[in-house]
Amino acid sequence: MKQMYVYIIANRSRTLYTGMTNDLPLRVWHHKHMQTDGFTRRYLIDRLVYYELAPDAASAIQREKQIKGWVRRKKIALIESVNPEWRDLSLDFIDIRPAVAPGPFHLGERDRRDSSPLIAAVRTRANPKQRSGDPSQRGAQNDGKGAP
């Protein structure tokens, strides 16, 4: 069985959204880069403020529904029990986020809405030539000769 996560993300105004996923870094990336239409995109919800592990999908669904049924005050108490400063917890696992190349449709909009250091990391992974500071090495990466 796959490990599941139940999470709460927020925006600057602390509007909350609760969800579940089996790939938290990827799901947060989608939220940060407004890759899905709906509530989180409309309200620019992009800061992971709480998450917990669930052993399987059934228990994750049950926990997500439980949290969604709570009044706002109780959700805030849950967040502040582990994250009193409302820090973006996704910064803790930025290095393990998948390298998903940015799509041309969201490029300008994403840059305007998100100042995450992830943008630079994704661009670098999408274009490996930017990583090499030595111009001679850039040409050697693809000299057309194929593998030895």
Cα–Cα distances (Å) from 146 to 35, 56, 111, 140, 142, in that order, read: 36, 45, 36, 11, 8
Residue 28: CATH number of its domain: 3.40.1440.10
- Residue 146 located in a structural domain: no
- Residue 111 located in a structural domain: yes
- Residue 45 located in a structural domain: yes
For 99-137, the pLDDT digits (tens) are 554 444 443 444 444 444 444 444 444 444 444 444 444
Share of the chain above pLDDT 70, in %: 62
The domain of 97 spans 4-131
- Residue 65 located in a structural domain: yes
- Residue 140 located in a structural domain: no
- Residue 106 located in a structural domain: yes
pTM over 0.75: no
For 41-69, the pLDDT digits (tens) are 888 889 999 999 999 999 999 999 999 99
| Structural domains of the chain, count | 1
